[in-house]
Amino acid sequence: MTQAASQFAPSRRSFLKGSASLACALTAGKAVSAFAAAPAGGGIHVYAGSYTNPVDGGANGEGIYLLELDARTGELSEARLAAKTRNPSWICIHPSRRYLYAINEITDFNGSSGSVSAFSIQPESGELTLLNSVSSEGAGPAHMSLDATGKFAFVANYAGGSIAVLPILAGGRLGSAVYTHRDLDSIGAKQATDAPRGSFAISGHDASHAHMIAPGPNNQFVLSTNLGQDRIYVYHFDVTTGKLKPLEGAPFVSLPTGDGPRHFVFHPNGRWLYSLQEEASTIALFLFDPALGSLTPQKTISALPAGFAGTSFASEIQVSPDGRFLYSANRLYNSISVFSITDDGSLQQIDEVWTRGDYPRYFQFGPTGDFLYVCNQRSDSITSFKVHRDTGRLTFTGRYTAVGTPAFLACLA
């Protein structure tokens, strides 16, 4: 998804064109952390997805890694390989805690598709056993989520520009897609409308690129970003069949051309949606109507500090569990931006913290909300930060955990 200048490492787009040889659902009106509530006393199993083939950088991973997290101190153990699988760049834990699902960000499954793999989880040890793999119904899947009932998995295929709904069968296996869709029209401008001065963040507007798909707070609607089209789509979700139907009248909202909506997150109140634009490095606030599924644009701000010039690619966005603060990650600038959330959902930037690594692709809160963990993709490390719950600010703990090209974290608790 990112390609700035020749000195930068290969992008997702360049990899996908030549490769033929991220519990993450939004439910109950809350942004559900991949880290669930901490169990009393004892370690928590944490899974790290990695890149085994180059996407936006190197490929030093071997698959899905297993770590142990001390919920009291926030310390992560050394990683050990739990499953060899190709490019597991996004992971979901089933609500039953018995199964794990990972996208395989590839283009040559059964010809020219990506895939999704299902694993059973051994509760005590955390060990993984492959159940099956199915087509993601599009090349290069970049994101997946589960519906609130745990009966369906949603997949966004970046290179293929398509979305798909996969049924979760008895025993945790995945079935073939019950719904697929691809939008092809209205590709955005190469240069982002709201890009920082001097930015070369110009990837992603060569074609349709579905980037994220997740259910809304009440599980009645599913939302999907398309970076290439600069759109956020809204669909009615049939919880019985898994099929999606475009919202009547206004099936999508548009972002400024070229800005590239990547990921979004709901506030715990279920009414505020924040969209992160990758090429423009902006955060847009929308009001979400949980009865109608409609999105109404409100305000847009930069995710970068005032006066920033040059190239940076926004990557991830999260709201603190208490709903008071919002965090976003900036690649190349290599920071986490911290914002306070006001009474009307507006954002005010209060801090900017270096991630102590290169190319922060993903970050996640720990089970208590007291720590935050950053996947520094190009420097092969996960760094941890103390979260000051009263102010929202972050302090580096001094801890680095080695994982080859880490892309994602998910927790079994």
From first to last of its 413 residues, what are the pLDDT tens digits of the chain? 544 333 333 344 444 444 333 333 333 333 334 444 444 446 899 999 999 999 999 999 999 999 999 989 999 999 999 999 999 999 999 999 999 999 999 999 999 999 999 999 999 999 999 999 999 999 999 999 999 999 999 999 999 999 999 999 999 999 999 999 999 999 999 999 999 999 999 889 999 999 999 999 999 999 999 999 999 999 999 999 999 999 999 999 999 999 999 999 999 999 999 999 999 999 999 999 999 999 999 999 999 999 999 999 999 999 999 999 999 999 999 999 999 999 999 999 999 999 999 999 999 999 999 999 999 999 999 999 999 999 999 999 999 999 999 999 999 87
Name every residue whose Cβ is closer than 8 Å to that of residue 194 and which is 6 or more positions away in sequence: 256, 259, 277, 280, 282, 300, 302
Name every residue whose Cβ is closer than 8 Å to that of residue 62 and which is 6 or more positions away in sequence: 50, 52, 81, 84, 404
CA distance 31 to 37: 14
Say if pTM beats, i.e. exceeds, 0.85: yes
Token output for 28: 């109950």
Phi, psi of 153 (to 5 degrees): -115, 135
Question: Edge-to-edge strand order for the sheet containing 295-302?
Answer: 261-266, 272-277, 282-288, 295-302
> What's residue 413's pLDDT?
74
Token output for 205: 């507007």
> What's residue 203's pLDDT?
84
> What's residue 223's pLDDT?
98
The C-alpha angle with vertex 234 and arms to 28 and 194, in degrees rounded to 5, equals 105
For the chain, helix, strand, coil in percent to 5 are 5, 50, 50
3-state SS string for 67-90: EEEECCCCCECCCEEEEECCCCCC
What's the distance, Cα to Cα, between the start and end of the chain in Å?
32
> What's residue 42's pLDDT?
60
> What's residue 256's pLDDT?
98
| Tally of CA atoms within 13 A in the half-sphere of 404 that contains its CB | 18
Maximum alpha-carbon separation in the chain: 54
CA 71, chain centre distance (Å): 23
**Domains in the chain with CATH codes:** 12-412 (2.130.10.10)
Name every residue whose Cβ is closer than 8 Å to that of residue 392 and which is 6 or more positions away in sequence: 320, 324, 325, 338, 339, 340, 350, 351
Token output for 10: 């290969």
DSSP classification of residue 175: P
